[in-house]
A and B are shown apart, each in its own frame.
Chain A
């Protein structure tokens, strides 16, 4: 399967701990996106990369959140000093260049902060 993969699928952590998630996009997809989804809501955009450049960040992405895509391939999303409000599904998507190309989503990482 050559779809978008995310690791881990589930993460349980205690408040105040740091967590890091990884996303492997479809190979040769230049764009990579991170979204967050809470129960009963649609996904909310967090940030996106074109190759290794982070081109847009949502105001939802507080100082405790940082995302990287160092070689233009996989990406990591780190949350420092987690809070209970960070509990959500974190979704990654990738797409080829082109403004209206479809985005391919991964299965998500479910974060639970105790």
Chain B
């Protein structure tokens, strides 16, 4: 699986935007970029995913570099509930049985200050 690199931790203030970076310089053409987050004492939850174009949903936006070697998860207005570990994951969807597993790194611990 292609590897991702994220900062260990980041801090933000409540109601301010947060930009969480992820580097994936060895990404292949069939790798989707997925983001999950894990709140304390809970299982991970899906946030967003994309392939080449920027993506928006109700939780966040995903900005993907033109060369796809990096991406940024954007939380437009951080709340205390957004404090979590955020994981950037590449999923190869080249075949029906590939792309099944999620390969988590250590993620970025986001702290949101009131």
List chain A positions with a Cβ less than 8 A from chain B: 4, 31, 33, 35, 40-45, 48, 50, 55-56, 58, 91, 93, 99-100, 102-108
Contact = CB atoms under 8 A, between A and B. Distances in A.
Interface of B: 32, 34, 41-46, 49, 85, 87, 91, 93, 95-107
A100 B87 CA distance: 16
B87 A42 contact: yes
A91 B41 CA distance: 11
B91 A43 contact: no
A104 B46 contact: yes
Given A55-B97, A56-B97, A99-B98, A43 B46 contact: no
Given A99-B93, A102-B46, A107-B43, A56 B107 contact: no
A91 B49 contact: no
B103 to A, nearest CB: 7
Main secondary structure of the interface of B (DSSP, over half): loop
Contacts of A4: 43
B41 to A, nearest CB: 8
| 9 closest cross-chain pairs (CB), A and B | A42-B104, A105-B43, A99-B99, A102-B46, A99-B93, A45-B101, A100-B93, A43-B104, A100-B32
A107 to B, nearest CB: 6
Contacts of B104: 35, 42-44
A103 B91 CA distance: 12
Contact of A107 (B34, B42, B87, B102): B42
22 contacts: A4-B43, A42-B85, A42-B87, A42-B104, A42-B106, A42-B107, A45-B101, A45-B102, A45-B103, A48-B101, A55-B97, A56-B97, A56-B100, A93-B102, A99-B96, A100-B49, A102-B46, A102-B49, A104-B46, A105-B45, A106-B43, A107-B41
